[in-house]
Amino acid sequence: MAPFVIGRPASGEYGEYFDRYVVRVPESDILAVLGSQKKEFTTLLSTVGKDQEGYRYAEGKWSIRQVVGHVIDAERVFGYRAVCIARGETTPLPSFDENPYAEAAGSDDVPLAELLMEFRSIRESHELMFRHFPPQAWQRMGHAGGSPATPRAIAYIMAGHARHHAAVLAERYPVRK
């Protein structure tokens, strides 16, 4: 039996808003991308000194810790959506507003090293979850945040979202690639 190929999501598998994340992942092996991002994200932020963890590039913008906290929150939401839809949930799943989540998270009170450990842990959990989805689950259609969604699309969105924030961190914050 040939190994199952997950494949890239079609545009109808996710809402238009999420295309900005899916296009950031041109690779075809989404599981490899999800796995490699644990190290990439940690490496990117390894040069941030403790005195820089609260840095904001402009008034009203998130600190480095808050950006990482947001990525963690989004990972959890995306993972929950993926497992619900993979298991056949037909109830539309809610959206989430990242700004109140970031405000309530308290990420500025958590050392960056611990936030990165949390990111690696939640990502590892999602990697295992995705690896254990049966082939038919990847293209199961559900709805999340008012848009269609498949677990396959959510995996690409998850990876693209992390890449988006890594790019923002590299461009606007005191981190080195």
What the block records as the tokens of 98 is 């990242």
pTM, full prediction: 0.95
Confirm if 89 and 146 have CB atoms less than 8 A apart: no
With cut-offs at 50, 70 and 90, classify the pLDDT of residue 5.
confident
With cut-offs at 50, 70 and 90, classify the pLDDT of residue 107.
very high
Mean pLDDT, residues 14-19 = 97
Q: Is the pLDDT of residue 99 over 60?
A: yes
Confirm if 128 and 117 have CB atoms less than 8 A apart: no
Residues 6+ away with beta carbon under 8 Å from 31? 6, 127, 130, 131, 155
Query: Mean pLDDT, the chain, as a whole number?
Result: 95
Supply the pLDDT for residue 1. Answer: 47
Measured between alpha carbons, how far is 15 from 7 in angstroms, rounded to an integer?
18
Supply the pLDDT for residue 3. Answer: 64
With cut-offs at 50, 70 and 90, classify the pLDDT of residue 4.
confident
Supply the pLDDT for residue 176. Answer: 65
| Percent over 90 (pLDDT), the chain | 94
Q: Is the pLDDT of residue 147 over 80?
A: yes
Measured between alpha carbons, how far is 35 from 121 in angstroms, rounded to an integer?
11
Q: Give all domains of the chain, ordered by start, each with its CATH number.
A: 12-172 (1.20.120.450)
